Every structure is written in C-alpha cells, then in structure tokens.
A and B are shown apart, each in its own frame.
Chain A
C-alpha cells in the first residue's frame, strides 16, 4: 500500500426515490435515502458504515454496486493499471453504462445479508461460487477449479461442490457467499450486514474469516452494519449515518473513545458491556427516526438530540474536519464534551 491514493472516493452522493400519489402517479416528494454523502475508502482498510435501520446505509452500498440509481454525485473508483503498477486511473462509476461497468464488476464484489436468500436454491455450490466467472465468460473447468479452491479457503471442504444450499447451516452458507465474492479476486468488497442474520457464536467466525482473507488478498471492505460491536471488531475507520447523511467519520478507536456527535454518543451508550464495574448511563433517544421524505429542518438529528439549541433547528451543520481525520457534522461539536466507551482492541488474528 505504497499508493496513498484512496481506492474509492464518494462525493456528494445522493439517492432519492420519488413518492407518487393518486391515479396519475404525481410525484409528491422524494425519499432522501442517501442525501449527499462524501468520504473516501483507502486501499486495504475496512470502513464500517453504521446507523439505525432506514438511515440509508444499505442504499448507499447498493448505489456503489449500481443496484439502485444514484440521483446525484460522483462515485470515483481509482483503477490500478495492470501494466504499470502504482499508476491508477480514476473512473466515475455513475458515468458508465453496463458494458463499461463490466470490467469494474470484477474488482468490486458484494456479500449480502441473508445467507438463506442470497444463494439460489436451485444451484449447486460450485455453480454459485462460479457464477461471477460465468458472467465474465470464463470456461466451465476454470470455474470449477476456482470454486474448489475457494471452498477450501473459506474453511469448507471442496467435496461440498455438488451440494445444494439447503444442505448447509447459516454460517456455512455465509462462507459460501464470501467465497463467491472472492471468485474474481476483487479489490473492494461491499459487505451488507454480512453477519447480522447469524447466531452470535457464528458471527465472530465469519468476521475472523473476513479479516484473514483481507490480509491474505489485500482486500478493502466497506462494512455496512447496524451493529456497532460488529463494526468495532473489524473496522479501521467508521462512518456513522443518520437520515441519509454521514454525521461522523473517524478512526475506529477515536470514534469509540472520543465521539464528537451526540448521535454517536447515544449509539455507543447502547452497546451492552459485560463489565459490571464500568457503570454507564444509557442515553435514550426519544421518538423514532423521522421520515426521510420530510426530514426535520436544520440538523436532522435535533428533535432527538439532548444537546440541541434553537440554532440547531435553523442551520444545517456540514461535515467538517476537527483534528486529524476526524470528521463531524454538528454545530456544537467544539463545545460539547461527549462520553465514549472503553475501546477494546480487536483480537489479533
């Protein structure tokens, strides 16, 4: 990672869905699922993307994969040149058509949430893992060899090749998903809640596997999750999303020990801790997430924020850098002294 250029840069990405009403399907408003998100993902790192359900984190992941159309902004992927190492060519994914996207699809893959619905029940494991190669028109024999190799690599036996998804447990299925995402040797893997459908005991196994693979294959992850403990376990940097916007973005450790946004503080206080000595106050967020069709004025978080001032209802805070790589979108970020939690560094893998 001598290259100091980020692998992917998001700038002002917006995904709006029209809301229609009545017989004539008149557009009466927009769901601002993602509303101006900008950050960068560096090669080899894991960026965690956390937030409550409905905050737009999954939509952002899907917009990067071009599964939902982005309304505005740029998603620039810095493609490294095979011929001359170290050199990269920036491509805006949103400018490309299906054919132009095809070679990039080799380098960006995805792991989905539900291991039961993400594997086609009519296909054998070999076919599932080989599907990305099939789409890129690799010959059958190569597909099968690669599937066998990857099965072993994710901790399953290659004798499972001809079995069907229903013969596996949730954890095993997610391993198959991981294997599929690695089929084409991608650079970036978008992981959409990869472990939230699994038993807690299995979650750690899958996260460990992902960390192993990251090291081995120089992978970069964008890890979308609602679960801060999961994100903490593997992320280098974490972005917190609220109502379609990133409200805080910094190194994992900084976020936990020294949060700058009240929303982050509230989220952190909700993490259960086994240590009974460490007393902590739980911050209860009043009400529920407001509608993304009609977000509150000013700071979107102000109706639920316990530090809010009248000004917060007026002015919308911008994501600004406060100190080394610590970005936050809060008007009172300077003055507030928010509480973090004890940061448990991830076990060495």
Chain B
C-alpha cells in the first residue's frame, strides 16, 4: 500500500507541473489581453504616475524577462499562496475565488451524492427487472438524459418557469440573503435553491451511471458465485444485496473520480446559465474580459482540485480492491 501511494504521488508531481505550464500558456496566449491593453492605455496617458505604475507591473510580472522566467515567477507565487491580481476587479484573485470555490465544491459533492443516490437504486432495479416495461422506459429515459446537456435543460426549465409560473429560478440565494453574512437562515435558503442546479448538473451523469450500474449488475448476476448463492437456497434479496451489489458497486469508485471533471464542466455551464454565485460565471467573465491572470489561476485551481480528487479516488479504490495495488 505504501509503495502504491508513493508511486501515485510520484506521478502526481509531473502532472501538477504540466498543468501549471498549460495554465500559464493559456494566460499568455491571447495577444490582446487585459494587461497589454492596460499598459497601452497607461502609455497613452504618458504621465509620471502611470509610468511608475507601468514599471511596477512590468517588474512584478517580469514582463521584460523571457517567458520561462515569467513562468517561474508566477508559479513560485502561486505555490506561496499569492495567486495574482484580477485586473478587472483590481482585487487579489484569492479573495475573489475563495467563497465561490467553496460553493462550487459544495455543488459538485452534492451532485455526486445525488448521482449515486438516484442511479444506483435505479440501476439495480433495471438489472433485476431486466426487459420489463419499466426497465425499457428507464433505459429510454436514461438515454435521453445522457443526450441532454444540463445547461440547455437549465435554459428550457428557466424559460418555462418564467413564462408559465412567473418564477425566477436564477441564483443560489433569495434576494434578502444574497449579500447577507452566513446564518442558519441563509443555509436553509441555499438548500432550498440548490436542488435545481444539482438536478441539472447531475442529469447526464446520473443517466450514464444508471447504464453502468445496470451493466455491472447484469454482469455479476450472471457469475457463477451468484448462481452458487442461489443454489444454496438463499433468498433473492440476500443474493442481490449481500452478494452481487457489493461487487457491482466497486468499479463505481473509480468512476466517481473520473466523473469529477465532467461534473465541474457541467457545473460551470449550468452556473453561467442560472447565474449562480459559483466559480463558473467568474471564470467565464474573466475569459470574456481577457483577465488572464484570474482565468489562468482559476483553471490551475480547478485542475489541482480534480487531480486531488482523482488521487483520493485511486487510494480509495486501492484500499477496497487489493488487486489494484499490485498492478
């Protein structure tokens, strides 16, 4: 187990470095980014204070230095917890991201829970009642769910709610709580608003997981040891829940780790449509404004979060399934 962990960590480091390089490239890709525009603007003014500010910016980001030095400067600061400044908001990125990232993670975790809680029972039901009318219906529904991207569904639902019931489904908080400090009331309000985004983000993932769970379960119900259990005269319930289910669920752990990137992506799009106070709209806005330091740091954050998630999922899998360790 320890060797497995060390091995995993050793893979982690180059991955993180590569991620940081990609993020940095994205920061530097746009030719007309905010920083250049700002510098041009300052140069136009040409007075002494802006010249000073200009020099300050240049030396801070090392803009006169070669690319790799700029990168080293950026990544060192990043590791030290200094994520740069958003030019648009003129605030440290750290401040802008903190609360929104918490909400993003909360939403993602709730979505995973939702996905599992819905998909596993339905998958089992579908597998046990294979080829029944309900199974066929569920199959069709899950196929359609897989084909429907959450953000488009969000758009449709939002428009329907607004035009049919005059209900605005945007946001995660009611107006009175939006800028209020955290309180019990705010948490309750959050939970009240959260079900829709969770449902929308989880839609296609749930549908996919239903298919996987059904396939796993069918696979295992055909195995010899399940036959043995049946032939011993065990009740069907015991066979399904004690023998088959345990093994059918095992592969889902690794799927949970792999589905995190998709959930984050779905969350981003859905949040933009529903205008949730999470990271999605902020990132989107940063990209639109070419506020690249904000966007780049942000991407870096998300991916680190994901890689860690994958790492935890791997460890969990290795812990539950000893075969993985000796791969």
Contact = CB atoms under 8 A, between A and B. Distances in A.
- A and B, direct touch (CB closer than 8 Å): yes
Interface of A: 22-23
Closest CB pairs A-B (n = 4)? A23-B10, A23-B7, A23-B6, A22-B3
Interface string B1-12: 001001100100
Contacts of A23: 6-7, 10
A23 to B, nearest CB: 6
4 contacts: A22-B3, A23-B6, A23-B7, A23-B10
Contacts of B3: 22
A22 B10 CA distance: 12
A19 to B, nearest CB: 15
Nearest to A21: B3
Contacts of A22: 3
A307 to B, nearest CB: 39
B132 to A, nearest CB: 34
Interface string B108-122: 000000000000000
Interface size class of B (residues with CB under 8 A): under 10
A176 to B, nearest CB: 33
Contacts of B10: 23
Nearest to B11: A23
B71 to A, nearest CB: 27
Interface in B6-33: 6-7, 10
B12 to A, nearest CB: 13
Interface in B204-257: none
Nearest to B7: A23
A23 B3 CA distance: 9
A22 to B, nearest CB: 8
Nearest to B3: A22
A26 to B, nearest CB: 14
A23 B4 CA distance: 10
A255 B3 CA distance: 50
B190 to A, nearest CB: 45
Nearest to B10: A23
Nearest to A22: B3
A22 B2 CA distance: 12
B11 to A, nearest CB: 10
A278 B7 CA distance: 60
B1 to A, nearest CB: 15
Contacts of B7: 23
B327 to A, nearest CB: 14
B2 to A, nearest CB: 13
A23 B6 CA distance: 9
A3 B6 CA distance: 63
B263 to A, nearest CB: 32
B10 to A, nearest CB: 6
B66 to A, nearest CB: 33
A86 to B, nearest CB: 57
A261 B64 CA distance: 82
A325 B315 CA distance: 61
B60 to A, nearest CB: 39
A22 B7 CA distance: 9
A210 B122 CA distance: 58
B133 to A, nearest CB: 36
B14 to A, nearest CB: 12
Contacts of B6: 23
A57 B72 CA distance: 57
A23 B8 CA distance: 10
A24 to B, nearest CB: 10
